């Protein structure tokens, strides 16, 4: 057995324990959490830590393949400008992208992160993740507002999913957001997730623009779609929030992570 004592132990399921002691087996499986003020015996051979001890952190939303864009985006210009700059700068030298991915993986490990929910638009990060000490779930993120292209986009996502699983990675296909997919594509993704009992992760109400788009098809999202030559003629505003609009399509048996929720 291994014994660890810290200035403060954070079991998470109960309040922090000053001077708490953690007992594990050699594989790291936790066997006991001990309150020092309730002990009537002495524990020897302890590893004493100056600081606090807690479970590993989870990064619940990462874009590992965009790590090379750190400090490359103009701050405080709003979501619309952010997305335009991402699209303009994301296609960089492959070696530089891989180097940034590897560095980001190492930084997370050194900072106590043990598991990552990572958004993927390609398979460039798969090799690094397959060799990483971190646990990854790769969300294969799909875009597609043109209903006529829904099958093609979905098949591309499934091909990336197979690529990830061949490397032993946990992965699932997911929509980018409610506004960036047609109802046809959202339905394909959701029915697949339902049949396979897969995880879903969506960017949700990251900005107020998303509300305007669903309420009356106005605002920066419309101009951004036109800038990228995305056909949104088939989109009819529901006059409701995005979640109210598509709630019935979401599979009830699947865990869903809505990211941002700023508005």
The pLDDT value recorded for residue 109 is: 97
pLDDT band at 38; cut points 50, 70, 90: confident
Residue 228 has pLDDT above 90, yes or no: no
The pLDDT value recorded for residue 87 is: 86
pLDDT band at 70; cut points 50, 70, 90: very high
The pLDDT value recorded for residue 11 is: 93
Question: Both tokens of residue 177?
Answer: 């957001």
Q: What is the pLDDT of residues 197-216, one digit of tens each?
A: 999 999 999 999 999 999 99
pTM: predicted TM-score of the whole model, two decimal places: 0.89
The pLDDT value recorded for residue 259 is: 97
Residue 89 has pLDDT above 90, yes or no: no
């Amino acid at each position: 057995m291994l014994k660890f004592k810290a200035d403060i132990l954070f079991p998470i399921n109960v309040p922090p324990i000053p001077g708490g002691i953690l007992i594990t087996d050699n594989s790291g499986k936790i066997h006991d959490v001990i309150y020092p003020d309730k002990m009537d015996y002495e524990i020897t051979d302890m590893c004493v830590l100056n600081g606090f001890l807690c479970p590993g952190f989870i990064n619940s939303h990462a874009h590992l393949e965009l790590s090379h864009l750190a400090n490359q985006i103009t701050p405080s210009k709003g979501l619309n400008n952010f997305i335009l700059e991402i699209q303009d700068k994301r296609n960089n030298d492959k070696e530089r992208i891989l180097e940034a991915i590897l560095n980001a993986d190492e930084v997370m490990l050194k900072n106590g992160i043990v598991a990552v929910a990572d958004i993927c638009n390609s398979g460039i990060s798969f090799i690094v993740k397959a060799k990483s000490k971190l646990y990854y779930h790769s969300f294969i993120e799909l875009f597609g507002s043109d209903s006529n292209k829904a099958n093609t986009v979905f098949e591309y996502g499934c091909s990336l999913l197979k690529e990830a699983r061949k490397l032993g990675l946990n992965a699932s296909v997911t929509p980018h957001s409610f506004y960036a997919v047609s109802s046809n594509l959202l339905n394909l993704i959701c029915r697949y997730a339902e049949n396979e009992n897969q995880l879903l992760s969506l960017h949700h109400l990251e900005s107020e623009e998303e509300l305007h788009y669903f309420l009356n098809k106005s605002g920066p999202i419309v101009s951004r779609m036109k800038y990228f030559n995305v056909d949104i003629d088939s989109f009819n505003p529901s006059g409701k929030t995005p979640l109210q609009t598509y709630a019935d399509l979401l599979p009830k048996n699947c865990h869903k992570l809505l990211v941002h929720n700023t508005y």
